[in-house]
Each structure stands twice: as structure tokens, then as C-alpha cells.
Structure 1
Amino acid sequence: MNAVRLPVTEAVRETQSSQSALGECVGRTVRRYLADIGDTECAEGLHALVIREVEGPLLREVLAFHDGNQSRAAAVLGINRATLRKKLATHGLL
């Protein structure tokens, strides 16, 4: 891989101008996580870790916003209701 690694301050400045508030929050959190672990590898992979940590709260908040209506929550999430129910069960939210 021949990726160019920007200094942290440049990477932060470059992304702040074009990211949404949610993107900025994720970026800050991932940068902090990476700084905390240093060169230690995440056993399950960083992508899997982030998805696992973010998906449960996302489902919980969208479902609560729609007063528990799974059909509306699924529509907002862009997934079908059966998939939503499967994810809710996986995260212990049913």
C-alpha cells in the first residue's frame, strides 16, 4: 500500500471543512482510539469494532425517535423491517 500519511493536524484540518457533525465526531473518536492503542492491532479489526460499537446505539436511538415503530425506523435506516428485527435481536434490543 502506498498511502500518504498526513500529520494528524493536517488530516484534522483537511477533514473538518468537508465533514458533517457526525463524521467529525467519528473522526475524533477514531483518532483518539488510535492514539490510545498506538501500534497495537485491534484483534477483531478496527472496522468490525467501530460497526459493533456504533450499530447498537444507532438502532436504539432511531427506534426511540420513532416511538418504537419498527417500520418507520427501518425506512429511515434504509433497511427492511426483517433486517432491522434481526439486528435488534443481535444487539439484545428486542
Structure 2
Amino acid sequence: MPENLIDKKFLVNFTKDNQNKVIKKPLRLLVKKSLENYLLNLDNTKYINNLYPLILSELEQPLLDVIMQYTRGNQTKAALMMGINRSTLRKKLKKYGMN
């Protein structure tokens, strides 16, 4: 799906500061901050070679969970919403033990 057709205004987290003022934080900023925090607290003696699949799994599993709840378990609707093939969805559900 072309990126310009996706409405990103809902991919935002709303929080309040000390003065009770609403702060909007885009999802990508929250992901970035989490990744920065992970790297800052990383033990320098360890070599990382699986960061990409680690990050994907941290995002993919909750995405699948929420979409499957939203579609009430309808894999066809879920696959269409996610823009992936139904068989790919089934593989991903199996990967996370969600089948």
C-alpha cells in the first residue's frame, strides 16, 4: 500500500506533562527512544548480531495480537488490513504461538 494512503495521525501516543498539558508522541519516536534506551543500557562486552529480528518481533507480535482481536480471529480480514498474504499471516501467527 502506498505510504501516502496511510493515515498516520492515529499512530500517536497521548500523555500529560507535569502541568497536565497533553503531549502527542508519534509511534516512531517512541520506538526510537526505546531502541536508544536499549543500546544505552547494553552490556558493552556483548556483541549484537540479531537486533533487526529482535525489534521486528517486539513490534510484530503485539500488532498481530491487536489485529486478530479487532477482526475477531478472521484471518482473511486481518491479512487484508495488514497488506499481507493470508498464508504469510498464518506463518506469523504460528511463529508466535497465536494460531
* TM-score of the pair, normalised by structure 1: 0.70
Unaligned runs of 5+ in 1: 1-19
What does residue range 31-50 of structure 1 map to in structure 2 within 5 Å? 31-37=36-42, 39=44, 40-42=46-48, 44-50=49-55
- Could you say which residue in structure 2 is the equivalent of 1:81? 86
- Could you say which residue in structure 2 is the equivalent of 1:65? 70
Amino acid at match of 2:74: N
Structure with greater proportional helix content: 1
Identity across aligned pairs (percent)?
36
RMSD: 1.6
**Cα deviations by residue, 1:28-60 (Å, 9 ceiling, x for unpaired):** 110110111053432x42111111222111111
Amino acid at match of 1:41: Y
Aligned residues: 74
Runs of 4+ in 1 over 6 A off after TM superposition: none
Structure with greater proportional strand content: 2
Unaligned runs of 5+ in 2: 1-24
